Structure 1
Amino acid sequence: MTRITVLGSLNADTILKMPHLPLPGETIALTAKKTAGGGKGANQAIAAARAGAATTFIGQVGADSAGTLLTDALQAAQVNLDHVTTTTAAATGQAYIMLDDAGQNSILIDGGANQTLTVADVTAAKPAITSADFLVAQFETPLAVTLAAFQIAKAAGVTTILNPAPAKATLPPKLLALTDLIVPNETEASILTQQTVIPTQLSTLKAAAAKLQAQGVANVVITLGETGVFYDQHGLSGQIPAFKVKAVDTTAAGDTFIGALTAVLAKDLHNLPAALTFASRASALAVQTLGAQPSIPTRQMIDQARF
């Protein structure tokens, strides 16, 4: 069984359903409102666990009901919580998700307790990092924390996967050099490389991958929504088409993709194309259900899916 440690965020999601996303100055009546568990890190951990991996989480919540909601959801998915801490210095992270009838969204984040996670917390979780096959992280927790975790992982021979979201225009070169696989979407890839990335133009995808590889990341995957996935391993590239489904909520599409991908990926990444196809199946299932964590499929659902 693949062993995965996820370092990341836990957010209580408030989902605001509406006919279309509002324009500046526009007032729109909601058609539905729902609360669910979320946070990129928590979503990815649950996706990995449901896809069959032994998963451990490193993160932080506030001493409040939202924190209990989130840790209960992780426990229900059989994610190990030995390194999830509770702080009284901040409330649990919150996300406000505006979701239109086409399943597209805009998201507002209040980081809360996610932003009070420290390097000391990561150091305390060193055994969970060094015993893993993979360490996965995003950018909803402090950058210094991610860097410290990746340093521990690489020293122990653990494969590192970075989901650079929310996107940052500049990253420490040291972090990229410690990253074995980076998985941005097309917007994040554009921001990271300061180049235009167009999902339907292969040359722009190859150029973005080449720029990231020049900064020390050998393996690049760029998710492209309904267009599919582009990958480049040491200069050898390819594309995986998306499965065609009717999207209800795309909130957890990327997180489900990363969790499922990591659950079936070989430690040396030799099976990356096959793992990307599996992850795409998982993501296609996720977008058909409202809510981030409620939408994440199990291994059986992924294996049995027919599109």
Structure 2
Amino acid sequence: MVEVVTAGHVNWDVTLRVDALPVPDGEARIDSQRRSGGGSAANVAVALSGMEFETGLVGSVGDDDTGLLARRELRDAGVDCTHLLEVEDAETTTKYLIVDEGGEVMVLGNEGANEAVAPADVTPEYVEGARHLHLTSQRPDTAAELARVATEAGVTVSFDPGRRLADRDFAAALAHSDVVFLNDREARTILDDDLEAPASELHGRVVVIKHGEDGARVDTPDGSYSHPGFDAEAVDTTGAGDAFAAGFLAVLVRGDNPVGPDADYERALEFANACGALAAMEDGARTAPTWEDVQAFLDGQF
């Protein structure tokens, strides 16, 4: 059994560092190339594994060479891949991440084997044995089934729906989520206009709104907390949101009651911002700072 199950996309990333993001009919110079595993579900699993959590992953890859490499990277990072589906005669989803000198990112990608996991592929016992389930962008019906199984088993659920929130109906998964992660743009899609009060479907839930380099805010049934973030020199913001989510969850899941009134949301927010800052200071979408690395950063030793 694992402590945290993450579910959603598993990608193979090709990161191109350029002198500037290209404009239409323009051209940019490629300064370096890097290939590694990516995808929000995989990134969070690796980050939590780096903080000594037993993590498992529900997702899908193709039976191609990049699928083999993605699976190998995850296993090497300590992530349980027994529920990572291999899709026959399919390409692993590949993302091309174009990163400029200031760390800003443009993403291109194919659909690939992502979202091959259907509700019927969910193994209830795998989810029921965990302490926490973290959902990322995936098929809405699969997200809903995973969240339902977890909730009925008393397993807490978090959801980071990602860029496609406006185009997909995640209402059923949101209804079972205890913690919801949104960035400013996503928040404008789902929250009330002033971003101060959760929309009706999120009442009673913990809502974390990420402001990028300006920190983040968490709204809980018992109050709100804000953190201004850290003054870090961004190299690559790819995956910083995943590192943030992993840091937030790490603090909560280590507590006796991850989403109850005694949960230390203020500490979780500070720790999450530190994880996001550390991720932005490194190349690539996947970083796995240890608990000690993050604490050293908070103590000003980095």
TM-score normalised per structure 1: 0.90
Do the aligned partners of residues 2 and 75 (structure 1) sit closer, same or farther apart at CA in structure 2, a change above 3 Å counting? closer
Is the CA contact (8 Å cut-off) linking 2:17 and 2:33 kept in structure 1?
A: yes
Contact 2:59–2:115 (8 Å) recurs in 1: no
Deviation of 1:215 (Å): 4.0
Partner of 1:150: 147
> What's the CA shift string for 1:186-218, capped at 9, x where partnerless?
1111123374xxxxxxxx3314xx22x554451
- Partner AA of 2:157 in structure 1: T
Match of 2:63 in 1: 63
Once the 2 structures are TM-superposed, how far is the Cα of residue 113 of structure 1 from its aligned partner?
1.1
Distance 1:101 1:184 in 2: 26
Whether the 8 Å contact between 2:217 and 2:269 is mirrored in structure 1 is no
Unaligned ranges ≥5, structure 1: 196-203
Q: Which runs of 5+ in 2 are unaligned?
A: none
One-letter amino acid matched to 2:249: T
Give CA-to-partner distance per residue, 1:111-163, whole Å, 9 cap, x none.
311122211221xx211211111100111x21111111001011101111000
Q: Work out which of the residue numbers 152, 161, 179 in structure 1 matches 2:158.
A: 161
The question of 1:228 aligning with 2:219 is answered no
- Report the equivalent of 1:86: 86
Q: CA deviation at 1:268?
A: 2.6
Alignment-derived partner of residue 128 in structure 1: 126
Aligned partner of 1:261: which letter?
F
CA–CA distance in structure 1, aligned partners of residues 72 and 124 of structure 2: 24
Three-state SS of the structure 2 residue aligned to 1:280 is helix
Q: Which amino acid aligns with 2:259?
A: D
Kept after mapping to 2: 8 A contact 1:89/1:113: no
1:206 is the counterpart of 2:193: no
Q: Which amino acid aligns with 2:296?
A: Q
Cα deviation 1:243-297 (Å, max 9, x = unaligned): 111000010100011112212213234111111211211111111111112x331
Tell me which residue corresponds to 1:300.
292
Secondary structure of residue in 2 paired with 1:81: coil
Looking at structure 2, the residues matched to 43 and 292 of structure 1 have their Cα atoms a distance apart, in angstroms, of: 7
Question: Per the alignment, do residues 171 and 36 of structure 1 end up closer, same or farther by CA in structure 2, a change over 3 Å counting?
Answer: same
Tell me the distance in 1 between the aligned counterparts of 2:36 and 2:192. Answer: 34
**Aligned pair partner of 2:182 in 170, 181, 184:** 184
**Residue 257 of structure 1 contacts residue 279 of structure 1 at CA under 8 Å; is this kept in 2?**
yes
* Kept in 2: contact 1:176–1:216 (CA 8 A): no
- Measure the CA separation in 2 of the matches of 1:85 and 1:106: 28
Equivalent residue, structure 1, for 2:259 = 268
What is the letter of the counterpart of residue 266 of structure 2?
Answer: P
What CA distance in whole angstroms lies between the structure 1 residues aligned with 2:296 and 2:28? Answer: 39
- My pick for the range that moved more, 171-180 or 95-104, is 171-180
State, as a whole percentage, how many aligned pairs show the same letter: 30
- 2:191 is aligned to 193
Q: Is the 8 A contact 2:188 2:195 kept in 1?
A: no
Find the aligned partners of 1:175 and 1:222 in 2 and give their Cα distance.
Answer: 18
Matched, 1:95 2:95: yes
The secondary structure found in structure 2 opposite 1:103 is coil
Q: CA deviation at 1:220?
A: 0.4
CA contact (8 A) 1:176 1:217 kept: no
Report the 3-state secondary structure (helix = DSSP H, G, I; strand = E; otherwise coil) of the residue aligned with 1:232: strand
Q: Is 1:253 the equivalent of 2:250? A: no
Q: Which moved more, 1:21-30 or 1:253-262?
A: 21-30
Letter paired with 1:51: M
Q: How does 1:278-289 map to 2 (within 5 A)?
A: 278-289=271-282
Pair 215,259 (structure 1): closer, same or farther in 2 beyond 3 Å: closer
Q: The residue matched to 2:114 in structure 1 has which SS?
A: helix
Whether contact under 8 Å (1:126, 1:152) holds in the other structure is: yes
1:237 aligns with 2:230: no
How far apart, in 2, do the equivalents of 1:187 and 1:110 lie?
23
Report the Cα distance in structure 2 between the residues aligned to 1:276 and 1:93, rounded to whole angstroms.
Answer: 31
